[in-house]
Structures are given as structure tokens and as C-alpha cells.
Structure 1
Amino acid sequence: MKQIILTAFFLNISGMAFSQQTEQSKLIDNYVKEAITTNKIPGLAIGIIKDDKIIFQQYYGTENLEDPKKVSSTSMFRVYSTSKLISSVGVFQLIEKGKLSLEDKVSKYVENLPKEWQNVKVKNLLSHSSGIPNVIDFNDILPGDSNAKVIDRLSKEKMDFETGNEFRYNQTNYLLLTMIIEKISGQTFEDFIIKNQFPDSKNELVFSSNSIEKIPNRIVKYNYNSTTQKYEKSTAIDGVRAHSGNGLAITLPAFLKWSSHLSKNDLLQQKTREMMWKPFDFSNKKSDFAYGWEITKTNNSLSYGFSGGNVSAYRIFPDKNMSIILMYNGYNFFPPQYNIVNHIAGIIDPDLINPYSLAEESIITEFSKKDNPNAEKNYYSFKAKNPTWDFESTLNNIGYILMRNSRIDEAVKVFELNVKEHPQSGGAFDSLGEGYLSAKNYKLALENYKKSIELDPQNTNGVNMINKIQDLMKKN
């Protein structure tokens, strides 16, 4: 009798857990469908691991807009800069084996570096604190140029800042990390990564930074054309050297396996993971970034991850034994990856509910609507309840996105709102000046640029724009 009662008890507990997970899955599914509709996402895949089990794995929409093929477990999404996480793990695998050190100078492995680069270390590449010029800033560097030619070209440029001082996202860092990996391993970057991180999934991923290359089952990003109000396939070609920074295309099942291996310390020992996620000590004491990983804090819970191309994101929550993978192929207005991940994390674990992120998501959604009739009212309702919340950067980004979508009048209203909310921000006035300039209201553009310089005397952009506007006013 006792055995029967115990069995019934555990069956009841098990049933309650299953029912709770089912309800949770419904909430996630409903939210994802809503996000897809709001952002007009053509196709999406999402996977969630909790307590070493896949609790959610779903596919939505189509791989492309040219035919009705559904997104599935065989669809390989390009994850763009989320590729850097895999590259960073590869670096730390070499560190763990004693073949590399964070303190090693890059010049130990890469020959013929400029004199100004000699003090750059591996840790500076991973933390984007190198100060080396960014390869993507120079149009005369071609995708097919050799690494030696690229370095020679960049050596003619000044350092962007003193090494170690600050965070500045930079693709050259990962070009150099690729060269280091290949030098030490004696393998191509791609072979090294597949052998050491994807031995059980090697047919479910591919490295290619060429958007027009025909690869079976690979999904390419769509960019929304605000003029035609239609999606256009990306045609970017970045070359082999970009593989470590943006080249990975991967299926959701393969990404889930990788995440599981990372959580279980199959890829790196726990102490090595903790080293990888330790905040870098930037000299300016302002930047916050680990060794290749973003650091996010939600209600005292730390998580680590990255995003890529505004169409992918990965986040791992070590203290919650949870990870979230998000991949899609396009969006029509504001990059939604972070808000989607934050929202889903809160559905799974109430401790991860982020009220600010939920408010930001609502504010963006309302301003994205045509003529956004209720957007300001919605914004002020959040501010009334939470007066300390600051949405300056959010409003600024919304304004610029509206401008890029040829919604100039709406953009100006958002910039005006931002100035009203942040009357001491030189940046807010600078953006309002640009909004008025786009609207060809030169008088108000000039007034606001002058105000931006008054508040921020270091604003060289404002000075240049004032000269430009004065020339325009003379011609008119």
C-alpha cells in the first residue's frame, strides 16, 4: 500500500512538472509568433536548453521568400558575428592545452606586424581592446586580398586608441586570431573548429562568408528595403579571412549540441570557461566585456553571449543551467534579437524577468507602427511608473531607424522627445540637428547642432555639420 501511495505521489509530481512545461512552451510559442508578426520575420528557429534538457525546439516560417520551403532541422542559418563565440572557444581550447596564453604578444605568432602593433596581446584581440585599425573601414581592401597584404595596408594607418584602453568592436582582431589558431594547430581554421567543437555535427554546419555562394540548406539574410518596402537578399562577399568573425552557418540541432557540450564542460574545463567569461580590465574603467563574450546582468544573474548580423543571438545563463539560441533571416524595423531573448528568459525563469527590457520592447513596437499614434503616450506611461529608467539610446536608435525608413517627420518627433527628456545631452541635440537637416529645415538644424556643441565641446561632428549647413543656407 505504501509503495502504491509513493508511486501515485511521484506520478502526480511528474504530471505537474509536465503540465507546467507544456504551459510554458505555449507561452513561448505564442510570444515568438507575436514577435515574428511584429518584426515581419520570414523564417526563424529557436532552441532552449534547461537543466541539460532541450525544453523547446521550434521552427517557423520559410527559409526564403522565393519558394515555400519551410524552416526545419536541416536549415542552416548564417549567424554572422555569433561565429565569434565559436572562435573564442577555439582560442581557449589552445590556452587550456598550454599552447597559447592570453598574455602572449600577437607578434609571437604573426610575422611582419607594424611597430605600433607590437604590444598587442591575445587578450586585447579577444576583448576588442587592441586599438588596431578595423579592416572593414577601408574600401580598398578586397575580399580576396592575402592576410599579408591586408596587414601591410592597415600598417599605413594610425592606431585607433591606446591598446587596452577601451572596447571598440573590430574585425581585424578575429583575422589575427584566425592566423594564430592556424599557426599553432597547423590546420585551417575551419578544420580546427569542426574537429574540436563539432565532431558529431560536422555535416550540419559550413563556413562561408560569401552570401551569394550556393550552399544546400543554407539560409541567407534578407535586408529590408524601406523605399520599396520589400526584402532583398544580402549579397555581401567578405572572403575566407572573415570566417572566424562572421562565416558560420549552422542548423539548430548542431547549435544545441554545441551548447550542451559547452555547459557540460566537454569543450572547456569549468575554470577555463570562467577565465573566458571574466571581465577584461579596460584602462578607461567604463567598458564591460569579457574575452569574446558580452556580459549581461539581470536581477543579479549573470549571462554571457553575443549576437550576429542582428539575425542571431546566443545566451548562456550558467547559474540557471540554461541557454537560448535564436536564429532568423530578416526583420523589418528594429533589431529584435536581444529583446526576444530577454523576454523568453523571463518566461522560463521569473528571476530573469527584465521589466526595463519589456518596456523597451513595447516602446519600440509602438514607434514602429505607421504614424505611431499611441507611441508617446505609451512611452510616458512607462516613465510615470519608473521615472529613473533612461531610454536615451533607445529613442535615439528609433529615430535613426525611422529616418532610414524615410519616415523623416516621425523621426524628428522622436528626436524632439529625446531632447525634451535629456536636455543636457549633446548627443540628443546632435541627432535632432540631423533630423531637421534631413527634413531640410536648415535653421532648426543649425540651432540644434550649436546646442549640441555647447553641451559637448568635443563634438567634432557637430562642428563639421554646422559648416555644411551654413554652406547650404548660402546656396539657398
Structure 2
Amino acid sequence: MKKSTLIISFLFLTMSCFSQKTENSKNSLKQQLDTYLKETIEVNQIPGLVVAVIKNGKVIYQQFCGKSSLEDNTIVDENSIFRLYSTTKLITAVGVFQLIEKNKISLEDKISKYLDNLPKEWQDVKVKNLITHSSGLPDIVKFEDIPYSLDESEKWIRLYKKPMEFETGDHFSYNQTNYCLLTKIIESISGLTFEDYILKNQFPSVKKGVVYSANASEFISNRVTHHVFNFKKKKYERFNADHVKIHNSGSGLNITLKEFIAWNERLDKNILLSKATKTLMWSQFEYKDKKDDFLYGWSLYSTNNVKSFGFSGGYMTAFRKFTDNDLTIIFLSNGYKFFNVEERIINHIAGIIDKRLMDKKLLVEEEIITAFFKNDIVKAKQSYFTLKNKNATLQLEDALNITAYTLMSTDRLNDAIKVFEFNIEENPKSFNAFDSLAEGYFKNGQLEISKKNYQKSYELNPENTNAKDMINRINELLKKQ
């Protein structure tokens, strides 16, 4: 065989092997992700979900799972439209920064520049305070006399009479009023409805697959049903609440996975915002208390000291950008039985894709929670000890506490108490573990033993004012018996 032929043959063989390895790698990655999602869906009985992973500008993984509606027995597919809930706020934040980029608004502008008849206490609140949840304004969704169904003009009349929560700029406090006001400001500046402004500037050529509606009972073709599990009836029921139009900017965008991926691509390619404007949007806001970490409309996350940006909504959707890793993960679902998993799924997938993002503690916590939900207490403890022995340097108190509280919230109080008790066995010097166990006993009507555990918690940490308050409360209840 000639030398040149040998070289060509060798190159062909090398390229074939490389191609095969790449394909095997892709298959292995897909298999890992498929297996993980399948187990998560089974453990938490998630009705339906979609996931997309974008790496280096390309979609490397996409999955559609389960039912869009259990009642109608329809499946999730590429046409399924998911309501983003508070993940909507990312799109609104981009809309605000588009106005900033066009010099039509400034973060330092007082909201009174655009809105009339505001209360005196609201006058010095700035645009930056709305988008960073540092306004201190009364939260429109927290008052019994301001229900969602109330006429909008009457809502503002009543809200204007409510006191400020804290000094503007002091700290982070998630607040729906902030985005209701951003809606009014955007409409004042653009001359358009909020919805038309966003669609025109961020989804200009989209014909279907993107629609605003904060009304879960409104029929929208291909929109998935929001399922809520009723533990008393032991079945999923449809969520039908109408959060009304004023909340569209905070929780009302409905979108297909395809259009969300396309939106992300426009963001990455600096079509929606310039690189400089994105840098500003993704810079940290300085709160007066110096404790909170938040960007301008985006949450800040840290995984193994690697920063990422994003937001989650309704405990069912999440969007995350690991900009230094050129990685974006989108997760959309339509319900959960036991506990919300959107952030855990994002973190887990990130670790599968890029080992530098694998947070060992979070993965172990996830396995522990899963063990207690899948098995009886004996088998769950066995799994716990196996994980503990393999990860001797990890502190697992939080994992047990999260598990117990999740069980308690899903009408499994007796199981929760068993896990709280187990946490005491594992962490006998933890004031928080005793405080949590005391809470479990209190909810179960076991006042004397609840008091005993609150006293132990207070002995371990005299600064635990909750324990002190609960002891006094229990003493009053015992007097009445």
C-alpha cells in the first residue's frame, strides 16, 4: 500500500473513531438526562414537562414528557404552551432595559416622573427599586381587602392607603406591586399596551406560541393545564385562578419551548439588548443592608463558585444562564405532587452537562429527599447512611429538615415527625433541628412534647426568639385546656 493511501486510510479511521466517540458521548449524555428526568417525574408524579439545554449556541438536548392535561389525556409536545408564572419577569426586565438602551428611561428616574397621583411615601421610589424588589412598597397580593377580582382602579385606591414595608433601597423583598407599576410605566412611555410593547420588541415575527394571560381558566389553544394535587381527595385538580391582566408583566406570559429557545437565541446574539446593556442588567444591585444578592430583574445563583443568572416561577418553571460556560437550561412543567423541583432539576442537569457545575451537596440532598419519598422510613434511613458514609465531609442536616418539611406540607405529618426525630438523632446539638421537631409536634397537637423541644432549642440558642415565643404560646394554650 502506498504511503499516501496509508495516511488517507489512517485519517479516515481517526475521523470515524472521533465521530463515533462524539456520537457515543451524545447518546450517553441523552441517556443520563433521560434517566434522571424519568426518575424525577416518577418520584414527584409530575404531570408533564419540557426541558431544553443550549450549549455554545446549539440545542444539545430537548425533551417533551407526560401529559399536558390529565383530564383530557393530551400529551406534551412541541406545540404545548406553558405559563411561565414569575419567570415572566425576565422578559419584563429585558423590556425595561430596551427602553433604557433607547434613552427613554433611566434606572435613576423616580416613578413619579411617569405616574401621577402617587402617595407621598411613594414619590422617591425609583425605577431601579422596582426592578430589584427594593422599593419597600406594600405588596398588592398580600391584602385580604385587595382580592384579584377587585376592579383595578379600586385596587390602587386601597393600596395607596397601605403603609410602606421598609425604607426604600434597604433590602430585597419580593413584591408583585413592583411589576404592576412597571407595567404602567412601560405603557406610559411606549404608548402601547404592555403586552403589545413586549410582543413588538421581543417577539416581532412570532405568529403563534406566545400569548399573555394571567387567567388560568381562560381557554388558550394548546396551553397545558396547571395541575394542583389535592391530598384530601388524593388526585390532581385543575388550577383555575384568574390573576387578572395587571399581573401579566409579573406572571402572565405563556410560551412554547420552541419560542423560548428562540427568545434566548435573540438575547445571546445581542438582538434584544446590546452586550453593554446586558452587562448592566446582570450587575449586582447594592442594597443598604449589604446582605442580599440580586441583579436587575434577575436572580443570582452560585454553583461551585460559578455564577449564573435566571429566575423561576410558580414552583414549576425555571430559566438559567451560565454565561461563563455558554450554557442555558430551560425547564417548564405543569404541576407537582410532593415538592417543587425546578431549581434542583436545573442544577442537576447543569452538573451532568458540565462536571465543573456538579454541586455534590445538592445532588446528595436530592438523593436523600428522593429516598424518603420513595421508601418507608427504614429503607430511607439505610439509603441515608449509605450516602452519609460515601460523603463524610458533607453536612446533611438541611437535607433531612427539607425532607421533613416537604412531607409535612404534603399531608404526611406523622412521616415528617419521624424524619424530624431522626434529624435530632443525627444532630443532637442543633437548635434548629429541635425547633423544627417542636413545630411538627405542635402541628400534631402534642403540646407538652412540643414545648419540651422548644425549650431544648432555646437552651442551645438563647437568641432563638421563635422558640421563646412558641413556649409562651403553648403555655397559654395549656392553661385553656
TM-score normalised by length of structure 1:
0.92
For residue 81 of structure 1, report the CA deviation from its aligned partner.
Answer: 0.8
Q: Is the CA contact 2:171–2:289 (under 8 Å) kept in the aligned structure 1? A: yes
The reply to whether residue 39 of structure 1 matches residue 60 of structure 2 is no
The reply to whether residue 362 of structure 1 matches residue 358 of structure 2 is no
Show CA shifts across 1:361-410 (max 9, x none).
10111122354323344444444555564455544333232223222222
Pick closer, same or farther for the CA change 1:241–1:70 going to 2, 3 Å: same
Q: What residue is the counterpart of 1:252 in the other structure? A: 257
Alignment of 1:15-34 (within 5 A): 15-34=20-39
The reply to whether residue 88 of structure 1 matches residue 93 of structure 2 is yes
Alignment of 1:228-247 (within 5 A): 228-247=233-252
For residue 447 of structure 1, report the CA deviation from its aligned partner.
Answer: 2.7
Q: Is the CA contact 1:334–1:398 (under 8 Å) kept in the aligned structure 2? A: no
d(CA) in 2 for partners of 1:34, 1:55: 21
TM-score normalised by length of structure 2:
0.91
Letter in 1 for 2:244: G
**Equivalences, count:** 475
d(CA) in 1 for partners of 2:126, 2:152: 18
Secondary structure class of the residue paired with 1:332 = coil
Q: What residue is the counterpart of 2:322 in the other structure? A: 317
The reply to whether residue 76 of structure 1 matches residue 81 of structure 2 is yes
Alignment of 1:157-236 (within 5 A): 157-236=162-241
For residue 430 of structure 1, report the CA deviation from its aligned partner.
Answer: 3.6
Pick closer, same or farther for the CA change 1:161–1:38 going to 2, 3 Å: same
Pick closer, same or farther for the CA change 1:386–1:33 going to 2, 3 Å: closer
For residue 129 of structure 1, report the CA deviation from its aligned partner.
Answer: 1.5
Show CA shifts across 1:193-221 (max 9, x none).
11111123341111111111111111121
Pick closer, same or farther for the CA change 1:207–1:120 going to 2, 3 Å: same
Q: What residue is the counterpart of 1:149 in the other structure? A: 154
Q: Is the CA contact 1:113–1:151 (under 8 Å) kept in the aligned structure 2? A: no
Pick closer, same or farther for the CA change 1:438–1:186 going to 2, 3 Å: same
d(CA) in 2 for partners of 1:165, 1:386: 39
Q: Percent identity?
A: 47
Q: What residue is the counterpart of 2:128 in the other structure? A: 123
Secondary structure class of the residue paired with 1:227 = coil
Q: Runs of 5+ in structure 2 lacking a partner?
A: none
Between stretches 466-475 and 41-50, larger displacement belongs to 466-475
Alignment of 1:51-450 (within 5 A): 51-145=56-150, 147-369=152-374, 371-386=376-391, 389-419=394-424, 427-450=432-455
d(CA) in 1 for partners of 2:162, 2:428: 37
For residue 19 of structure 1, report the CA deviation from its aligned partner.
Answer: 3.0
Pick closer, same or farther for the CA change 1:217–1:167 going to 2, 3 Å: same
Letter in 2 for 1:401: T
Letter in 2 for 1:206: V
Q: Is the CA contact 1:194–1:202 (under 8 Å) kept in the aligned structure 2? A: no
Letter in 1 for 2:436: S
Q: Runs of 5+ in structure 1 lacking a partner?
A: none
Between stretches 422-431 and 169-178, larger displacement belongs to 422-431
d(CA) in 2 for partners of 1:191, 1:132: 27
Secondary structure class of the residue paired with 1:279 = coil
d(CA) in 2 for partners of 1:417, 1:231: 31
Q: Is the CA contact 1:227–1:405 (under 8 Å) kept in the aligned structure 2? A: no
For residue 312 of structure 1, report the CA deviation from its aligned partner.
Answer: 0.9
Q: Is the CA contact 1:209–1:243 (under 8 Å) kept in the aligned structure 2? A: yes
Q: Is the CA contact 2:132–2:285 (under 8 Å) kept in the aligned structure 1? A: yes
For residue 153 of structure 1, report the CA deviation from its aligned partner.
Answer: 1.8
d(CA) in 1 for partners of 2:392, 2:154: 53
d(CA) in 1 for partners of 2:205, 2:377: 49
Between structure 1 and structure 2, the one with the greater Rg is 2
d(CA) in 1 for partners of 2:314, 2:207: 23
Between stretches 417-426 and 94-103, larger displacement belongs to 417-426
Between stretches 288-297 and 144-153, larger displacement belongs to 144-153
d(CA) in 1 for partners of 2:433, 2:113: 45
Secondary structure class of the residue paired with 2:232 = coil
Q: Is the CA contact 2:66–2:76 (under 8 Å) kept in the aligned structure 1? A: yes
d(CA) in 2 for partners of 1:106, 1:423: 52
Letter in 1 for 2:145: D
d(CA) in 1 for partners of 2:116, 2:400: 46
Q: Is the CA contact 1:78–1:220 (under 8 Å) kept in the aligned structure 2? A: no
Secondary structure class of the residue paired with 1:56 = strand
